[in-house]
Chain A
Amino acid sequence: MWRQALSIGVATGTYGVSFGALSVAAGLTLAQTCVLSLLMFSGGSQFAFAGVVGAGGGGAAATATAALLGVRNGFYGLQMSPHLGRQGWRRPVAAHLTIDESTAVGTVQLAQHPGRDDLVRLGFWATGGAVFAFWNLATLGGGMLGNALGDPRRFGLDAAAAAAYLALLWPRLRAARPMTVAAAAALVALGVTPVVPAGVPVLAAAVTAVVLGWRDDAPATAEPVGTD
């Protein structure tokens, strides 16, 4: 389990380098970039925050987008907390480490060894801890690299940011419904881009998802949380 946690940590480290470089390219300082990784600690939200800032969006739009992308972590918490036990002061730390990877490993243990909450706890804490360590070190390295590179466009870092969003989106597109929503969201965002302030197109796309998802009468095919 420790080896698995370590390899997941190293793998997310490569995201961390990208985030660090893209965040300073978007105009955040190295300190702000590192604080995002330390305190926000949720890759999707961090990429989104930097992306909205880089597009010229205001702090409020960037904050709203990051928070909306972080909502899934709340659901992960709902799912994980009964198995992590009553832990007093450890609970806020566990909440902080609740991300895609730690929840995924925890739920895999849950499925493979029902009733063995000790294994769920080990998987969750080992993965969350390893990702936290590598993510923050990689962010610092990536941020320094980004500062050293200078003009982000010359090195194609703006295209790299788009590729990062695509990579985050990719594993979630396994069914027809998500693909429809993704296409509609992109169309709405681009459609309103010429007429609204930067940052708002992305939030408009979120509203699109709520409207489409609310009236969805398809049979319950909600995928188990954390498999991506």
Chain B
Amino acid sequence: MSGWVAVLAACAACFGIKLLGFLARPHWLEGERVRRVSGLVTIALLSALLAVQAVADGKQLTLDARAPAVAVAGVLLWRRAPFVVVIVAASAVAAGLRLAAA
């Protein structure tokens, strides 16, 4: 899939899912299990994206400047810092560590 095809296909898929919620009312979608599994899939995807983004480098796992940056982000989230502060702090930690190592 080329870049634009993937972008447009993904947009269409996401909009189609939203529209389905407004148009369809299949009873199997209202089951407790479907709703629970859907919530857990969201959590699993975000957690996996986080893990891969934090320590994967291609097909290798590596601990570099990203891991401490994510740890700092975690502390800031725990302290209820705003999103933008968390993001800027994580970038600054990683950039600073790389600068120091260079």
Contacts and interface: CB of A to CB of B under 8 A. Distances in A.
Interface of B is mostly: helix
Interface in A12-69: 14-15, 17-18, 28-29, 32, 35-36, 39-42, 44-45, 47-49, 51-53, 55-56, 58-60, 62-63, 65-69
The CB with the most chain B CB atoms within 10 A, among A98, A189, A212, is that of: A189
A148 interface: no
A213 B36 contact: yes
Given A167-B77, A225-B39, 16 more contacts: A11-B82, A39-B11, A63-B10, A72-B39, A74-B29, A81-B22, A98-B22, A156-B90, A157-B91, A159-B54, A166-B73, A170-B77, A185-B45, A204-B48, A222-B32, A225-B35
B19 A77 contact: yes
Given A67-B17, A159-B94, A193 B56 contact: yes
Nearest to A78: B21
5 contacts: A36-B11, A69-B42, A71-B42, A163-B86, A201-B56
A59 B1 contact: yes
B13 to A, nearest CB: 4
Secondary structure of the A side of the interface?
helix
Nearest to A193: B56
Contacts of A59: 1-3, 5-6, 9
B17 A74 contact: yes
A172 B40 CA distance: 9
A122 interface: no
Contact of B48 (A44, A75, A96, A186): A186
A127 interface: no
A190 B98 contact: no
A211 B77 CA distance: 29
A213 B83 contact: no
B37 A214 contact: yes
Given A74-B21, A165-B50, A172 B61 contact: no
Contacts, number: 310
Interface string A149-182: 0000111111111111111111011000110011
A164 to B, nearest CB: 6
**Contact-residue size bin, chain A (C-beta under 8 Å from the other chain):** 35 or more
B18 A77 contact: yes
A156 B93 contact: yes
A55 B52 contact: yes
A183 B55 CA distance: 15
Given A163-B87, A172-B46, A178-B40, A201 B52 contact: yes
A182 B69 contact: no
A220 B91 contact: no
Contacts of A45: 10, 14
A8 to B, nearest CB: 12
Nearest to B85: A14
Nearest to B33: A214
A80 B70 CA distance: 35
A195 to B, nearest CB: 8
